Structure 1
Amino acid sequence: MEQAQAPSCYRHPGVETGIRCTRCERPICPDCMVEASVGFQCPECVRGGSGTGHAPSASRPRTVAGGVITAGDPQLITKILIAVNLAVFLAVRAKPELLDRLDLIGLAFVPQFGEVVGVADGEWYRLLTAAFLHWEIWHIGFNMLGVWWLGGPLEAALGRVRYLALYLLSALAGSAFTYFVAAQNQPSLGASGAVFGLLGATVVLVRRLKYDMRPVMTLLVLNLVLTFFWDNIAWQAHIGGLVAGAVIAYGMVGGPRERRRVTQWAACGLILVLTLATVVLRTLALS
């Protein structure tokens, strides 16, 4: 059986290469590579798409996920998400009773409030608010470092809207799985589900761009070891977010280019439907 031949650089026929432009996906050799925030780009895409031979709308600079690259700060959404987490952390520190009002809990009686609270009692907002809650400084520190290290490159690769969808859906999936599996009166909080979603998406993106998988796989294994061997960690949020992030990222960058938009919506829709179904089933079980 003959070994498949690597594609040739589109600007230098006969020069084999395994690297593709992260915008237009054409093969490029080392002489044509222009380093970008994520991956490499061809000279035409760097110049704004001139000379590509495509229609003007298609030749606009785009991310690897097909989104149009916007002007301004390439890490804007990442910085906003970190700022929101920090603002909520300071608010909870100043007013600790917010913790019991916003954390993720299935169904429980809270003596200081004199009432029953929880997602099963109709407080579905807790699935999202809990993902922005932290109490310990080390907790928010580790999570925000994860958002910064993983989120910036992902935002540049996916585009702002897709990246925000990835973050929020991963957070919701992590919360939903925690709600489904954990004890009904066990509180949970933190952005861990979203962070693991970013980690799962990074694994998919690195594989898609054919980079060295060893660093990201080492990071993944290390985080999974900590998940299951460190006390007081909501492993359910980690696993739920990880799976959701990987599925969404595959839909965004792994599908056929001609059906990219359909696969992206389908992946996001699938995770959202599964999240809602999980919450509904658990709520019915606790009713």
Structure 2
Amino acid sequence: MSYDPPNYGVQSTPEPEAVPVCPRHPDRVSYVRCQRCGRPTCGECQRPAAVGIQCVDCVAEAQRAMPTQRTALGGKVRAGVPLVTYAIIGATALAFLLQFILPSFDTSLLYAGILTGSEPWRMLTSALLHSQSMIFHILFNMYLLYAIGGMLEPLLGRARFLALYVLSAIGGSVAVLWLEDPRVAVIGASGAVFGLFGALLVIMRQRRVNYTGILITVAINLVLGFIPGFNISWQAHVGGLLVGLALGAVFAYAPAGPRRATIQWAGVAVVTAVLGVLTYLGWMTIAERFIG
């Protein structure tokens, strides 16, 4: 049996302490620790807190745990510009430029009722096109989109606003399908813009805001569509306006609470279904008359 005698009088050397490094940047030494998790955090990863410093991971975790802030109509509160509005304006401006560059670009996207069965996507793509001979057409529509979109998109949220714009554009085409000669081609975002007007009217009324000015603007533009020589599709205006009124009511009058978003999107689905049925019935009528 071996025996190791005690090392009396011999001083032991302590183990050197590990140098604290930032978990995200192991090459950076830091003696500052997160007040929440206690880990070292470098200058790049430090975030000021109510007391002391927190690391970026703890701050991100706390933000995820916080309930999402919502607007009065259920949209997610976001900082910055109305992204969907600007994207639609950009896409429309690009399409207008391509109308001058590509000779057949407009004819491949415009809408006429007779084309509904074979190329139904034209009911939406026609909203990207505008008259090349009358630049006021696109300027006026894009100004209205910029002005109204800047109000509605932050209030509704991006998804609801996009649904409103797209379905209003399609609603304008559905009205053209039923009320216009199916051989007449139409272009323009006016139906979609009138849908924004319709939704804004309902929302302002529900929130008890004076909407007289908006109502007069809508009335004037509706009347202009009936004046001979203006070459304006009043059918698209009416169709877009009706869809906007319907969706505005869905968004504005859905009861607040955890089920509000479900009710709102159910309403969007109903409007979409109605437009689908009207499109089918309208096309069947045209096919019977012109195709046999």
Residue in 2 that maps onto 1:105: 112
Residue in 2 that maps onto 1:235: 234
The structure with more radius of gyration: 2
- 1:196-235 to structure 2, matched below 5 A, reads 196-229=194-227, 231-235=230-234
Deviation string, structure 1 residues 73-123 (Cα, Å, up to 9, x no partner) = 2x111111000000000001112322221100122xxxxxxxxxx223x11
Unaligned runs of 5+ in 1: 1-55, 108-117
Instruction: Decide which moves more: 258-267 or 138-147.
Output: 258-267
Q: Which of 74, 85, 88 matches 1:78?
A: 85
- Does structure 1 residue 133 correspond to structure 2 residue 129? yes
- Does structure 1 residue 64 correspond to structure 2 residue 72? yes
Residue in 2 that maps onto 1:246: 245
In 1, distance between residues paired with 2:119 and 2:253?
36
Residue in 1 that maps onto 2:175: 177
- What letter corresponds to residue 119 of structure 1 in structure 2? T
> Any conservation in 1 of the 2:128–2:189 contact (CA below 8 Å)?
yes
How many Å apart are 1:240 and its aligned residue? 0.7
Unaligned runs of 5+ in 2: 1-64, 288-292
> Any conservation in 1 of the 2:78–2:154 contact (CA below 8 Å)?
no
Residue in 2 that maps onto 1:275: 275
- Does structure 1 residue 165 correspond to structure 2 residue 163? yes
How many Å apart are 1:180 and its aligned residue? 2.1
> Any conservation in 1 of the 2:191–2:239 contact (CA below 8 Å)?
yes
> Any conservation in 2 of the 1:173–1:271 contact (CA below 8 Å)?
no
> Any conservation in 1 of the 2:116–2:123 contact (CA below 8 Å)?
yes
In 2, distance between residues paired with 1:271 and 1:229?
30
Runs of 4+ with deviation above 4 angstroms: none
How many Å apart are 1:57 and its aligned residue? 5.5
| Identity %, equivalent residues | 36
In 2, distance between residues paired with 1:156 and 1:219?
22
Q: Does the residue aligned with 2:226 lie in a helix, a strand or coil?
A: helix
How many Å apart are 1:261 and its aligned residue? 2.0
- What letter corresponds to residue 130 of structure 2 in structure 1? H
Residue in 2 that maps onto 1:87: 94
In 2, distance between residues paired with 1:261 and 1:57?
19
Provide the TM-score with structure 2 as the length reference.
0.71
In 2, distance between residues paired with 1:228 and 1:149?
25
Residue in 2 that maps onto 1:110: none
Residue in 2 that maps onto 1:35: none
- RMSD (Å), alpha carbons: 1.6
Provide the TM-score with structure 1 as the length reference.
0.72
How many Å apart are 1:72 and its aligned residue? 3.1
Residue in 1 that maps onto 2:264: 264
In 2, distance between residues paired with 1:256 and 1:159?
17
Q: Does the residue aligned with 2:70 lie in a helix, a strand or coil?
A: coil
Q: Does the residue aligned with 1:243 lie in a helix, a strand or coil?
A: helix
> Any conservation in 2 of the 1:104–1:187 contact (CA below 8 Å)?
yes
> Any conservation in 2 of the 1:197–1:244 contact (CA below 8 Å)?
yes
Deviation string, structure 1 residues 169-192 (Cα, Å, up to 9, x no partner) = 111111111122211110000001
In 2, distance between residues paired with 1:234 and 1:270?
26
Count residues in correspondence.
219
- What letter corresponds to residue 84 of structure 2 in structure 1? I
In 2, distance between residues paired with 1:208 and 1:139?
31
> Any conservation in 1 of the 2:225–2:231 contact (CA below 8 Å)?
no
How many Å apart are 1:216 and its aligned residue? 1.6
> Any conservation in 2 of the 1:203–1:213 contact (CA below 8 Å)?
yes
Residue in 1 that maps onto 2:16: none
Instruction: Decide which moves more: 227-236 or 163-172.
Output: 227-236
How many Å apart are 1:155 and its aligned residue? 0.5
